[in-house]
Amino acid sequence: MVRAEGPAVAADEQEQTRRGRLRRWFDWRRGRPLTLLGVLVTVLLVAHAQVPNAVGNLGSLLETFLPWLGLTVPVLLALALWRRSGVAVLAALLPAAVWLNLFGALLVDKSSGPGDFTVLSHNVAAANDDPQGTIRMLTGSGAQIVALQELSGSAVPVYVAGLAKAYPYHAVEGTVGLWSSYPIDGVEVVDIKMGWTRAFRAEVTTPKGPLAVYVAHLPSVRVKFDSGFTAGRRDVSVQALGDAVAHEPLRKVLLLGDLNGTVNDRSLAPITSQLRSAQGAAGDGFGFSWPASFPMARIDQILSKGGLVPTDSRTLPADASDHLAVVAGYRY
């Protein structure tokens, strides 16, 4: 009988040890800071719209870089495993699930083949020291409609001459321009409350029918330690541009330009409530366009309404600008 008790006692001790380890893994006090961080990231992802803009436009700043919160997940998960905290592991998986719900669809290629025409938007940068290289990129893109922003006065004749063969029709107003393989008519400056021209509307007649095309370069935003996310001037221009689009008589509308904001930013709602993003509907990935050296946000937009169907969306390789060109195909 003594010999029979030995294995039974050992098995019981092993079971108690295993249960003890499980209790330690799921002791909520173990890894408490990591658990709280996981919950905080989850709350920011779920309730980002509730983060107020009253102080330093923190809500808009968070929404501009919202996808990057996903990078906290592998860090939190690795630390939770190192800390051997099951509760912290579960807390790290919560933001992972929410992030996939918000952005998972962007990771899937949604392109549906060639469209009826292709459009391109590019902030060419006033400091661009290789406009000829940019012109070669534009003419080689296959786009029929090209919108350019941040055109300096000295650069306009260079682009007009360089693009003339591929795009016989063009319009330039202030620092923004439109080049097209199709006729352009009805050019009207859009007052976006800046004091100088950085937006206009034109009618482009495609073989399938007319389009209203808006080209815009909204005011820049800055992140400052003393005042936060300074986007007041941009937000005023957003409202003015949104009002213009709302009163557009043509049904099919394209908006091409550097909006200095992402579609997640609530402050762009006067525009994004009317128009949908080609990248979100037909892109593959996030399509970040700025800065070109390490893209972190898609602030260059191609948006549409009126039954225009995006068939693909992408960015082009970097040129001498600090932005990447964005391209989208459309079915009329």
Residue 157 belongs to a domain: yes
Domain range spanning residue 50?
A: 2-107
Residue 112 belongs to a domain: no
The domain that holds 270 is classified in CATH as: 3.60.10.10
Q: Are residues 143 and 13 in the same domain?
A: no
> Does residue 51 surpass a pLDDT of 90?
yes
Helices (H), the chain: 2-25, 32-46, 58-64, 72-83, 86-103, 131-139, 156-163, 232-246, 269-272, 278-282
> Does residue 1 surpass a pLDDT of 50?
no
> Does residue 228 surpass a pLDDT of 80?
no
Q: Are residues 188 and 137 in the same domain?
A: yes
Question: Which pLDDT tens digit goes with each residue over 97-130?
Answer: 999 999 999 999 999 988 999 999 999 999 999 9
Classify each residue of 51-70 as buried b or exposed e, where b means 16 or more C-beta atoms within 10 Å of its C-beta.
Answer: bebeebbebbbbbbebbebb
In the structure, what pLDDT confidence band is assigned to residue 84 with cuts at 50, 70 and 90? confident
Residue 319 belongs to a domain: yes
Q: Are residues 232 and 253 in the same domain?
A: yes
Q: Which two tokens stand for residue 244?
A: 């213009």
Q: Are residues 89 and 121 in the same domain?
A: no
> Does residue 276 surpass a pLDDT of 70?
yes
Number of domains in the chain: 2
